[in-house]
Amino acid sequence: MEQSDLLAPAATPAVRPLTARQRAARAARNGGEPTLEFAERVPYDAYVRASTLHRLQQPITDDPGEMSFLMVSQIMELYFSLTCHELRHAQRELRANRVWDALPPLRRAALHLEGLNAAWQGLRWMTPADFNRFRNQLGEGSGFQSAMYRQLEFLLGLRDPALIRPFRRQTEVYAELTTALAAPSLWDDVVTLLARRGFDVPDELLARDLTVEHEAHPSVEAAWVRIYADGGPENHLRLLGEALTEVAEWFGDWRWHHLKAVQRAMGAKVGSGGSAGLAWLQRSMARVVFPELWSARTAM
């Protein structure tokens, strides 16, 4: 079987919906036992594609520890995608002025980021000797090259056009990243919402070049100071601020755990992708997500 056959999506029958009455009838026929016979593919596999997922782990060495490294990386990729999905949902609600409806996807995004952080636990066993047994075989492969992580950073307002250059030969991925870079971040949508709600946000901030990373602005900070001054239960903007703070906090924790995992496994060696490794990660952590939400707290 070719590798392409393993990675191609399998043809599956549509998942057949059941009503509550049909489920009750099936349970009665089974005497409370699970159904064990199906005419076609097991419905769980048809929906979750579990058999496809479990064929995606293809280590390139015989070292038993590489499987942990590979699978944890794949788990993180899924969490990146899931978090992006929730943040885009929140953006749609904010653009429609539905602040209350933006809170559930932001809450889910924070929980997904919590799960993303927990994935690091699967690599706590890795010492430099453990990593070195398979590191050379990875070549120039590096988490720095994750396109979905770039999508997540762009959504959170961390913008650097240079970081999409590695994908120029992957035209579809490059086009997606170029589009994401030019689109408003979640924070851009929040700032625009504040302007619509009557806060004094200057026009030049609303019309800025979105491919350039947002810099903290006094007017946005002042808006959050005013918002937090109202502790009433109907102040949905304050609830929005707290939901965004939780997202930023969990994302910051992930960056910190990433740095510590690198420090544990390779110290201050240069990165596989050509960066300075630990030093590069330390510099990147200085870029703050939703900066005025944090600076406003000093003035509250």
Nearest 5°: the CA angle 171, 175, 179 is 170
Number of residues that this document lists for the chain: 300
Query: Is residue 135 marked as binding?
Result: yes
Tokens standing for residue 268: 């201050």
Helices 66-95 and 128-135 sit at what angle, rounded to 10 degrees? 90
Q: 177 and 147 in contact (C-beta within 8 Å)?
A: yes
Integer CA distances (angstroms), 22 to 28, 36, 140, in order: 10, 16, 54
Tokens standing for residue 62: 């015989």
Q: 199 and 221 in contact (C-beta within 8 Å)?
A: no
Tokens standing for residue 174: 């490059």
Q: 277 and 143 in contact (C-beta within 8 Å)?
A: no
Nearest 5°: the CA angle 87, 91, 97 is 145
Query: Is residue 85 marked as binding?
Result: no
Spatial CB neighbours of 163, under 8 Å, sequence gap ≥ 6? 150, 153
Of 73, 78, 83, nearest in space to 120 by CA: 73
Residue 127 exposed, middle or buried by CB count within 10 Å (0-12, 13-18, 19+): exposed
Sequence ranges of the binding site: 135, 258
Binding-site positions for substrate: 135
Residues contributing to the annotated binding site for heme:
258
